[in-house]
Amino acid sequence: MGKYLWLAVEVDKYELPLYVADTAEELGRVFGAKANSVINCVIRQRSGRENGYKYIRVLNDGEEDGDTEAVAMQTVQEVW
Protein backbone atom coordinates (compact mmCIF):
# COMPACT_ATOMS: atom_id res chain seq x y z
CA MET A 1 0.00 0.00 0.00
CA GLY A 2 1.27 3.46 -0.85
CA LYS A 3 1.89 6.50 1.25
CA TYR A 4 -1.35 8.18 0.13
CA LEU A 5 -4.93 7.19 -0.59
CA TRP A 6 -6.65 8.82 -3.55
CA LEU A 7 -10.34 9.67 -3.18
CA ALA A 8 -13.13 11.03 -5.32
CA VAL A 9 -15.49 12.95 -3.05
CA GLU A 10 -18.76 14.84 -3.39
CA VAL A 11 -18.57 18.60 -3.93
CA ASP A 12 -20.73 19.63 -1.00
CA LYS A 13 -19.69 20.73 2.47
CA TYR A 14 -19.48 17.11 3.70
CA GLU A 15 -17.19 15.80 0.93
CA LEU A 16 -18.39 12.22 1.35
CA PRO A 17 -16.17 9.69 -0.43
CA LEU A 18 -17.47 8.25 -3.70
CA TYR A 19 -14.49 6.01 -4.41
CA VAL A 20 -11.23 5.18 -2.66
CA ALA A 21 -8.13 4.00 -4.53
CA ASP A 22 -4.53 3.18 -3.73
CA THR A 23 -3.16 5.03 -6.78
CA ALA A 24 -4.06 8.00 -8.94
CA GLU A 25 -4.01 5.66 -11.93
CA GLU A 26 -6.67 3.41 -10.41
CA LEU A 27 -8.87 6.38 -9.51
CA GLY A 28 -8.50 7.82 -13.00
CA ARG A 29 -9.40 4.49 -14.60
CA VAL A 30 -12.67 4.37 -12.63
CA PHE A 31 -13.64 7.95 -13.56
CA GLY A 32 -12.35 7.89 -17.14
CA ALA A 33 -9.37 10.18 -16.60
CA LYS A 34 -5.61 9.82 -16.90
CA ALA A 35 -3.47 9.56 -13.77
CA ASN A 36 -1.81 12.89 -14.62
CA SER A 37 -5.22 14.58 -14.74
CA VAL A 38 -6.09 13.27 -11.29
CA ILE A 39 -2.73 14.43 -9.90
CA ASN A 40 -3.09 17.89 -11.49
CA CYS A 41 -6.60 18.32 -10.08
CA VAL A 42 -5.30 17.50 -6.59
CA ILE A 43 -2.26 19.78 -6.84
CA ARG A 44 -4.27 22.69 -8.24
CA GLN A 45 -7.19 22.05 -5.85
CA ARG A 46 -9.83 21.99 -8.58
CA SER A 47 -13.35 22.48 -7.23
CA GLY A 48 -15.01 19.70 -9.25
CA ARG A 49 -18.23 21.66 -9.73
CA GLU A 50 -18.45 20.67 -13.39
CA ASN A 51 -18.28 16.93 -12.67
CA GLY A 52 -20.07 16.77 -9.33
CA TYR A 53 -17.00 15.26 -7.65
CA LYS A 54 -13.43 16.25 -6.93
CA TYR A 55 -10.23 14.35 -6.29
CA ILE A 56 -8.32 14.55 -3.02
CA ARG A 57 -5.29 12.79 -1.60
CA VAL A 58 -5.07 11.81 2.08
CA LEU A 59 -2.07 10.54 4.00
CA ASN A 60 -2.26 6.82 4.74
CA ASP A 61 -1.64 6.45 8.46
CA GLY A 62 0.17 3.13 8.10
CA GLU A 63 -2.68 0.65 8.33
CA GLU A 64 -1.41 -2.48 6.56
CA ASP A 65 -4.47 -4.70 6.90
CA GLY A 66 -5.50 -4.13 3.28
CA ASP A 67 -8.84 -2.51 4.12
CA THR A 68 -8.36 0.69 2.15
CA GLU A 69 -11.94 1.90 2.50
CA ALA A 70 -11.95 1.55 6.30
CA VAL A 71 -8.74 3.57 6.56
CA ALA A 72 -10.13 6.28 4.29
CA MET A 73 -13.41 6.49 6.19
CA GLN A 74 -11.49 6.79 9.45
CA THR A 75 -9.42 9.63 7.95
CA VAL A 76 -12.53 11.42 6.67
CA GLN A 77 -14.25 11.09 10.04
CA GLU A 78 -11.21 12.53 11.82
CA VAL A 79 -11.44 15.65 9.65
CA TRP A 80 -15.02 16.26 10.80
Find the helix or strand (DSSP H, E) in which 72 lies.
Answer: helix 68-79
Q: Name the strands in the sheet holding 17-21, side by side, starting at the edge strand that comes first in the sequence.
A: 17-21, 4-10, 53-59
Q: Which of 26-30, 46-50, 72-76 has the lowest mean pLDDT?
A: 72-76
Q: For residues 17 and 55, what is the distance between their CA atoms, to the nearest angstrom?
A: 10
Confidence of residue 74 (pLDDT cuts 50, 70, 90): low
Instruction: Report the pLDDT value the prediction gives residue 2, as an integer from 0 to 100.
Output: 73
| Global pTM exceeds 0.85 | no
